[in-house]
Structure 1
Amino acid sequence: MNRLDDITTRTGDDGTTALADGSRHPKSAPRFVAMGDVDELNAHIGLLRSRLRVHASDDDKAIDEFLIVVQHHLFEVGSELAVPGMTFLAAGALDTLDGWGQRYNAQLSALKEFILPSGTLAASQAHVCRTVARRAERSLVALNQLEPINATAIQFLNRCSDVFFIMARVLNQNAQHPETYWRGNQ
């Protein structure tokens, strides 16, 4: 059975959309803002994966495989938002992000100053993913203030932004692209 036969249904032309239970709400409702931000992050990760494939080293392939796992977890977050009260994202998803972040951060030099988002196309896209993850996290926090949601989903997005910062640095390091440090008030 196909779940998505009709993509264009015209039912949202009035500015409303439906949750999985069929209830309709304004598209501007906090739950749908959060869903959109999570979806946007997933799309940006897809672009990052495409950039990684251009000059795919073994490490890039490993990062790509990790990103696929992250994308699946983001679909779980989206499912939780679409089906209020259901839990799809397991706490083990946090362990996956923490493990990756710790392993790769150990390969990087300590930061002496803030760095400017830049570098290779893939690293720059990882910085975009980082900022979109932060926005998605803020959207989930705002929704949680109105109605409780799975705390693991909020924590997952918090970890995502950390991981994408580390990933941007790793991608620049792998490409031997120097980081640009912020110079402050010089």
Structure 2
Amino acid sequence: MKIYTKKGDSGETSLFGGTRVPKSNERIEAYGTVDELNSFIGLAASYELSESGTKYLRKVQELLFTLGADLATPPSSQTRIDRISADDVSFLEDAIDTLEENLESLKNFVLPGGSQPGATLHIARTICRRAERATVKCANVDDISDNCIKFLNRLSDFLFVIARYENKHAGVREETWKGKQ
């Protein structure tokens, strides 16, 4: 099977189910940003991580493929796919709670950075926020599954917490922002 089809050469692409849309479509922007996010999480996972970090990031990458398919498939489509569920949102909440048990409470903002995995996960968090904004923009003009925005909102919180967790695991002290002094 060839990787190129030439079907996108005119600036259009197909959603799951066959509907053709411009590549500038809000839905394409949303799932394209999710794809970018998944790649950055893959970069973070390529570094030496804690055992928990490896396990959680693998699961999150799988869920991001589900999210991408969900965003690429209008709910009205007859195409049968897995969709992001309330259980997937709960998985992130449980992971956040578990990871936070090992972290100090925050009293100040944390400057993004730290170890290579921690810093990369902070970048992933900002990409996740962009994916969330793109998904909200898509939802304003098109029908998307209800759990997509909830999942992305929770995922950005998870990415912040796991960045802190991986920095702690690497023995890198968090730098806090205290404003003008």
3-state secondary structure, aligned to 1:51? coil
3-state secondary structure, aligned to 1:17? strand
Report the equivalent of 1:77.
67
Shift of 1:162: 0.3
* Paired amino acid for 1:83: T
* Paired amino acid for 1:32: I
2:57 to 64, 67, 71: 67
Matched, 1:20 2:21: no
Aligned equivalents of 1:144, 1:75: Cα separation in 2: 19
> CA RMSD, aligned part only?
1.3
2:157 to 159, 162, 178: 162
Instruction: Please give the residue correspondences for 1:113-124 in structure 2 after superposition, counting only pairs within 5 Å.
Output: 113-124=108-119
Which ranges in structure 2 are unaligned for 5 or more consecutive residues?
none
Which ranges in structure 1 are unaligned for 5 or more consecutive residues?
none
3-state secondary structure, aligned to 2:128? helix
Report the equivalent of 1:184.
179
* Paired amino acid for 1:183: K
Aligned equivalents of 1:103, 1:20: Cα separation in 2: 36
Aligned equivalents of 1:35, 1:14: Cα separation in 2: 20
Shift of 1:6: 2.6
* Paired amino acid for 1:73: L
The more displaced of 138-147 and 60-69 is 60-69
Aligned equivalents of 1:6, 1:144: Cα separation in 2: 33
1:104 to 79, 89, 99: 99
Aligned equivalents of 1:112, 1:145: Cα separation in 2: 36
3-state secondary structure, aligned to 1:20? coil
Aligned equivalents of 2:109, 2:52: Cα separation in 1: 27
3-state secondary structure, aligned to 1:73? helix
Shift of 1:134: 0.6
Aligned equivalents of 1:66, 1:171: Cα separation in 2: 12
Shift of 1:8: 0.9
- Contact 2:113–2:119, Cα closer than 8 Å, also in 1: yes
Flag the structure with more relative contact order, 1 or 2, with Cα contacts below 8 A and sequence separation at least 6.
Answer: 2
Q: TM-score, normalised by structure 1?
A: 0.90
Aligned equivalents of 1:102, 1:77: Cα separation in 2: 22
Aligned equivalents of 1:107, 1:65: Cα separation in 2: 16
3-state secondary structure, aligned to 1:25? strand
Aligned equivalents of 1:168, 1:89: Cα separation in 2: 23
2:4 to 1, 4, 8: 8
| Percent of pairs with identical residues | 39
Matched, 1:35 2:31: yes
Report the equivalent of 2:170.
175
